[in-house]
Structure 1
Amino acid sequence: MSLLEARGLTRHFGGLRAVDGVDFDLAAGEIHALIGPNGAGKTTFVSLLSGRVPVQAGSIRLVGEDITRLPAHARVRKGIAYTFQITSVFPGLSVFDNVALAVQGGRGSARDLRGAVAAALSRVGLEAMASDIAGTLSYGHQRLLELAMGLALQPRVLILDEPTQGLAAGEIGNFKDLVRSLVPEVAVLLIEHNMEVVMDLAHRITVLNFGQVLARGTPAEVRASPAVQEAYLGA
């Protein structure tokens, strides 16, 4: 049984078929990349999985439970965390308080707050910045803070939307090491334009184009696909 399973997911906006009958499976302990050209439907698809956009047709199951109609906050408590393409930290609060808010909204909200925050910050290397104001951090550190907030939710599934956008080359290397350290405890769904990151991290890749699945498979299989080369990667 898949950890996260989608069947026939559909979302149209007027005449635009943003997501058009997509099937998808995420296995426990897997890093699964979702790629495709701009406008392929990637962000809409993960918004359907996380509950930020309602499904028009199809179904979503998490560990066998139908969550298709659950609102986003209920899916967070079930174990789906979503970090955004643009940083969504609270700039006026401390690093500690940002993560504390996430702890209180997650699956383990009744556990020791201070210990949970410290564990999440330590995981991403920000423990020394706990008292800093989030808005004063560098962009790279804000992305790490957002990741700490996601981990503080104790997710089964962590969705990362363009996490390396704006990061320096050295920061990308550290990010890849961090993502690898999350599995098998957490399954990661990675939406990413940086193909070097995708090919290096992903166990499997799903390619979307015009709201439909163009290809899926291992990095080697996707790289070798003529259809993917024509639509996205280039020959």
Structure 2
Amino acid sequence: MASVSLLSTKGLSRHFGGLKAVDNVDFTIREGEIRALIGPNGAGKTTFVSLLAGRIAPSAGSIEFLGKDITNLPAHKRVRDGIAYTFQITSIYPTLTVFDNVALSAQSALRRHPGSKRSDIAEKAQEALDRVGLADRMGEKAGTMAYGHQRLLEVAMGLALEPKLLILDEPTQGLSDSEIESFCRLVKEIATSATVLLIEHNMPVVMQLADTITVLNHGQILAEGSPGDIRANAAVQAAYLGTG
């Protein structure tokens, strides 16, 4: 595993009135790893990744990506720099075809490459759909697909952006057991070319995929370590995993 820091935060905080949703978090994710972010409901996970993606502004602290301070960079510029975030609530274009949804992301990514052609967009969209297993559905209207397939479409849209960091927020929600198995294989394949930050409640998925697990509780990092370390951590058991 690479040891180069891809993204880091220092004292990152987001307060909503008196609620400290994210409270003074120092966090580092290395290039090439699969990092899982877990914690009980209300722990601040989605707020934290929304801060990383630029969807909301921090109350305090800083964010650095590839050695560059991006604390005040808007979300679309973070996407351009290589941060892709798939939302907890599916964010597809339901009236467009599956292919056109992914082509829009591919077009956005290819703007970074002068001289790109329309055929390049189609090729990149096709490749992303192949990777998530939706190539046979490319002509369907996105909104008519089952929820689990819409989640996979969202992952394809993220992949078409050519991310250096792909943030997946509850990606297995709505997937069947067989689809979850396929998804785990997909994440391992994605990790050969991008760093993955996975926010996930399905603990078998987390334990299977993660190199390192960060546990949030009450907006703060409760623990961090390997899956074995986290499974054995008494504080994590009490706060989240249960002691039984």
TM-score band by shorter chain is over 0.9
Q: What is the root-mean-square deviation in Å for CA atoms of aligned residues?
A: 1.1
In structure 1, give the amino acid aligned to 2:205. V
CA distance in 1, matches of 2:199, 2:121: 30
The aligned residue for residue 38 of structure 1 is 41
SS at match of 1:3: strand
Residue 84 of structure 2: which of 71, 81, 84 is its match?
A: 81
Q: CA deviation at 1:184?
A: 2.7
Q: How far does residue 104 in structure 1 lie from its aligned partner after superposition?
A: 2.2
Question: Percent identity at matched positions?
Answer: 63
Q: Specify the alignment match of 1:169 in structure 2.
A: 177
Q: What is the count of residue pairs matched by the alignment?
A: 235
- Matched letter for residue 178 of structure 1: L
Report the equivalent of 2:231.
223
TM-score by length of 1: 0.97
Describe the superposition over 1:139-181 as per-residue Cα deviations: whole angstroms up to 9, x where unpaired.
2211111110000000000000000111111111111010011
Report if aligned partners of 2:37, 2:216 keep a CA contact under 8 Å in 1.
Answer: yes
Alignment of 1:1-235 (within 5 A): 1-106=4-109, 109-110=112-113, 111=116, 112-235=120-243
Structure 2 residue runs without a partner (length 5+): none
Taking the aligned partners of 1:211 and 1:39, their CA distance within structure 2 comes to: 8
2: CA distance, partners of 1:17 / 1:106: 35
Q: Deviations over 1:51-78 (max 9, x none)?
A: 0010121111111111110000000000
Taking structure 2 as the reference length, what is the TM-score of the superposition? 0.94
Q: Which runs of 4+ in 1 moved over 6 A?
A: none
Unaligned runs of 5+ in 1: none
